[in-house]
């Protein structure tokens, strides 16, 4: 007797669909969907985690840029300033130490700023003029210290 190989899996699927176990899980799944408490898939969880990490990275980069522009040491991230940011800024809960900020994030912030300057200056002609003519005492102007007023 020859059996059709395609018939066997189909019969198993139909058998499963008619089983009480399948019906029980299907109704539980529908109830969870209507209540809004359906179980998250692994893909959804990883996407959500990636979005949080991206947001945190953006906040950390902005924090490092603000510290650098303000002339504040990255070690302040380990002190009260960092504690304040971790307490009140949800995205900075996993902010790295001051040393890590200095080694990784400060370099990235610097590279971004340099790229921004390069983009701004791409089609601009720049001239640098250095006045090396000596003053009355014979000292070149480029070697004189300027007085700040």
Q: What's the confidence (pLDDT) of residue 114? A: 92
The residues, any chain, with a CB within 8 Å of residue 131's CB and separated by 6 or more, are: 141, 142
Q: How far, in Å, CA of 117 to CA of 119, rounded?
A: 5
Nearest to 54 by CA among 97, 98, 107, 94: 94
The pLDDT of residue 1 is: 41
Give the mean pLDDT per block of 10 residues along the chain (149 residues). Answer: 56 84 86 72 82 79 88 88 84 80 88 90 85 76 63
- Of 78, 58, 76, nearest in space to 67 by CA: 76
140, β-bridge pairs: 134
Q: Domain locations in the chain?
A: 39-120
Contact 76, 82 (CB under 8 A): yes
- pLDDT for 132 equals 74
pLDDT at 9: 62
Per-residue model confidence (pLDDT) at position 147: 59
**Is the CB of residue 63 less than 8 Å from the CB of residue 95?**
yes
Paired tokens of 1? 């007797």
């Amino acid at each position: 007797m020859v059996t059709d190989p395609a018939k066997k899996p189909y019969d198993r699927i139909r058998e499963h669909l008619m089983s009480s176990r399948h019906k029980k899980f299907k109704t539980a799944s529908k109830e969870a969907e209507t209540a809004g408490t359906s179980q998250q898939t692994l893909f959804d969880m990883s996407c959500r985690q990636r979005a949080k990490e991206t947001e945190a990275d953006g906040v950390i980069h902005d924090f490092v840029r603000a510290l650098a522009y303000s002339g504040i040491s990255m070690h302040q991230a380990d002190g009260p300033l960092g504690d304040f940011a971790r307490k009140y800024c949800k995205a900075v809960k996993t902010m790295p130490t001051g040393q890590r900020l200095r080694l990784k994030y400060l370099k990235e912030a610097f590279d971004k700023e340099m790229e921004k300057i390069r983009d701004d200056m791409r089609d601009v002609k720049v001239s640098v003029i250095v006045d090396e003519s000596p003053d009355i005492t014979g000292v070149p102007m480029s070697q004189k210290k300027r007085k700040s007023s």
